[in-house]
Structure 1
Amino acid sequence: MDDSPKRIVVKIGSSLLTNNGRGLDRTAIYEWARQIAMLHARGIEVVLVSSGAIAEGVVRMNLPERPKKLPALQACASIGQMGLIETWWQALIQKGVQSSQILLTHDDLAHRSRYLNISQTLNQLIDWRVVPVVNENDTVSFGEIKFGDNDTLGAMSATLVGADLYIILTDQDGVFTDNPRTNPNAKLITSERAMADYLFDVAGDGGKWGSGGMLTKIRAGRLAAMANCPTIIANGKVENIITRLADGEAIGTRLTTDHADRLIAKKQWLATHIRTAGTLVIDDGAVKALTEQHKSLLPVGVIEVQGDFDMGDVVEIVNAQKVRLAVGQVGFDSHQAKQITQKHTDEVLQILKLNENDKIIMVHRDDMAVL
């Protein structure tokens, strides 16, 4: 039985694409394109998530460092995206592979109808044997509509297209037990469940030219795992890295999944909400009900409501220590929710003047993704 992946998402980070800030590394891009074309010829479908627009814009404008103010960052993205997509198009078409550009914001995926439409568009491109080149639309992204890093965008892309492998190429060999730059005794973690909590303890920060460190890659691996997609974090400078990983060679760190990690389609969409409309802080009893008993969240278990939201908006659910446990569509608006925290059903009926047939559920389990 052939267990090789049929559909792969490959994310390549800024530190690789821009050669540590010295402009786009076109030699490397053409080499990765050659490998993608080889997979394409074998019938393996590839979606490419490419960072580098802002970093390329910084270099084209001859700036000494990545700007900190939003208008300058967005201007750099506008300048750099043209060179980035042109380079990928030329590198792929030279190998006989057509490509397309997809620019997204978190807001595009936060709405269910738009999420489904983007999924359909990506799948149509794949059916046409086109390699979609996905990037965050940094020119218009800000605050609440921003992904924050392309590792997360890559995981969301894997969810959108139903990928069976997500490859994150970086300038590190994978996830280590400690920082290998400062500790020569650090060991490479070759394989681990994506949901293993200790992985967060070994994560580092982002580099000078990018926005995602190892922490964002581990989080992205968890998100992909919810769509039953394993993740491999590996060094993009290794020879033939993409084709070797597609062939099953053990390189880097593999974040594995199991059936228990997988969410149904709607809950996969809910899990993609990095930004939410508000927050519900819950007590220990509600934590147990959600995480162990898989029950709905009732008003009596909510101890605090934060934010301004409408009924049906997606909110995050955290414990008293502010650890994110779940996301879900809330059954009340924020004004109502604040009135009924820690209240039993009979009290809620009186406060909101509801009848006994009305559902008194803060977040229904069918509208919730436990993370």
Structure 2
Amino acid sequence: MTHTVVIKLGTSSILDEERYQPKIGTLAAIVETAARLKSDGHRVVLVSSGAIGVGRMHTGKKGAVTKVAERQALAAMGQVRLSSMWDSLFATVGLATAQVLLTRGDLADSNRYYHARETLNALMSDSFDAIPIVNENDTVSPSEGRFGDNDTLSAITAGLVGADFLFICTDVDGLYTDNPRANPDARRLGVVHGVDDARRAASVTSMGSSLGTGGMKTKLVAAELATAAGIATVILRSDAPQHIVTIVNRGIPDVPEQPATVDAIGYPPLEPPHTLFLPKSERVPDHKWTILHALHPAGNLIIDEGAYERISKKESGGRLLPAGVIGVEGVFERLQAVRLLVKKGDDTFETRYTLRTRSR
């Protein structure tokens, strides 16, 4: 069976934080893993952080960089070198690569979202047979319009291409009940049925890295987004990517539902070492998932409670009549996402929905 596999690598998996040099062994292992997946008939997308880190490596800037313009300049210098590095490594195994830089703005607009999806699918088709390498376009993304971390970007990319698996590669081999570096009794979770269960059972603190922007919290957010779209999500060590082939070819295990108690969640641990978040059995439909997680609301519609009650009923078809709208904030066009705010009796507002305006 052919699967679409998204592999996400953070900056700390790509660069040594002390020497600011590429981890060539890890990068080569990722390339070999992708080549093996391709030879087994699977489609592969790589989500790679590291542009700013590579830019710092090239310029020798090791201190904190706080100015937005300087970070964007480092991203501009680093991205071309990061892309060249990946292309050279993949060329050694006869695989072509393609650079795909995305911003929230690209995915907030339904037309651009559609073209991004079509481009990625074309790159993975037999006509091109390439491995798309996705990163956020840090050079042009303002701080308020950024994904914030590539864990979220990887989940949205996985939803964009209809992936079967999302692998989030990090410096630990899964999600633990406590920080394994500080507590030797910490236990690694195995199969997890729900992200909420994982949050109750696990620790999301980690020592982190001076290079990366994410953490275990962002990985849980990514798992929540991806599993809602029907995508199995795996956390595993970036220096053992060969396990990805084993996990993909083995498929998603058929495990019984576990009682939602802390002691029962995610046990026993899996081999090879990793944590697997099972996809939701009732996945959110593609168009609803896109509106909820990919499109960025361009404005607000303020409605009264009566209108909210009406559109909440299935027979309403989600149609909002003008009579129920008591205020509009922002400027938006057809097919853009808007946020619904319900005005309460005490003049407070409560966010209830994000929806997309109709084409006509």
User: Shift of residue 58 of structure 1?
Assistant: 1.1
Asked whether 1:242 is paired with 2:264, we answer no
**Structural RMSD (CA):** 3.5
Matches within 5 A, 1:19-168: 19-20=16-17, 22-127=20-125, 128-168=128-168
- 2:330 alignment partner in structure 1: 308
Aligned residue identity for 1:163: A
Structure 1 unaligned spans of 5+: 332-371
- 1:11 alignment partner in structure 2: 8
Secondary structure at the aligned position of 2:234 is classed as: strand
Secondary structure at the aligned position of 2:209 is classed as: coil
User: Shift of residue 27 of structure 1?
Assistant: 2.6
Tell me, yes or no, if the aligned pair for 1:66 and 1:73 is still in contact at 8 Å: no
Relative to the length of structure 1, the TM-score reads: 0.76
Equivalent-residue separation in structure 1 for 2:196 and 2:157 (angstroms): 22
- 1:363 alignment partner in structure 2: none
Query: Could you say if the C-alpha distance between residues 27 and 250 of structure 1 is closer, same or farther in structure 2, counting changes exceeding 3 Å?
Result: closer
Tell me, yes or no, if the aligned pair for 1:225 and 1:262 is still in contact at 8 Å: no
Secondary structure at the aligned position of 1:134 is classed as: strand
Aligned residue identity for 1:20: E
Structure 2 unaligned spans of 5+: 251-270
Matches within 5 A, 1:326-345: 326-329=353-356
Q: Per-residue CA shift, 1:64-117, capped at 9, x if unaligned?
A: 234121111101111111121111111111101111111111101111111111
- 1:352 alignment partner in structure 2: none
Equivalent-residue separation in structure 2 for 1:102 and 1:96 (angstroms): 20
User: Shift of residue 323 of structure 1?
Assistant: 9.5
User: Shift of residue 63 of structure 1?
Assistant: 1.1
Provide runs of 4+ in structure 1 moved above 6 Å.
280-295, 302-306, 318-325
- 1:270 alignment partner in structure 2: 291
Identity %: 32
Secondary structure at the aligned position of 1:238 is classed as: coil
Tell me, yes or no, if the aligned pair for 1:23 and 1:60 is still in contact at 8 Å: no
Secondary structure at the aligned position of 2:282 is classed as: helix
Worse overlay, 10-19 or 22-31: 22-31
Higher relative contact order (CA 8 A, sep 6+): 2
Aligned residue identity for 2:355: G
Tell me, yes or no, if the aligned pair for 1:271 and 1:327 is still in contact at 8 Å: yes
Q: Per-residue CA shift, 1:293-348, capped at 9, x if unaligned?
A: 8985979xx999895343654244689999976422369xxxxxxxxxxxxxxxxx
Relative to the length of structure 2, the TM-score reads: 0.78
- 1:176 alignment partner in structure 2: 176
Equivalent-residue separation in structure 2 for 1:172 and 1:305 (angstroms): 48
User: Shift of residue 219 of structure 1?
Assistant: 1.0
Query: Could you say if the C-alpha distance between residues 194 and 77 of structure 1 is closer, same or farther in structure 2, counting changes exceeding 3 Å?
Result: farther
Q: Per-residue CA shift, 1:151-177, capped at 9, x if unaligned?
A: 111111111111110101011221122
Aligned residue identity for 1:207: S
User: Shift of residue 37 of structure 1?
Assistant: 0.7
Worse overlay, 197-206 or 302-311: 302-311
Tell me, yes or no, if the aligned pair for 1:147 and 1:274 is still in contact at 8 Å: no
Aligned length: 329
Worse overlay, 137-146 or 272-281: 272-281
Equivalent-residue separation in structure 2 for 1:62 and 1:304 (angstroms): 55
Tell me, yes or no, if the aligned pair for 1:17 and 1:25 is still in contact at 8 Å: yes
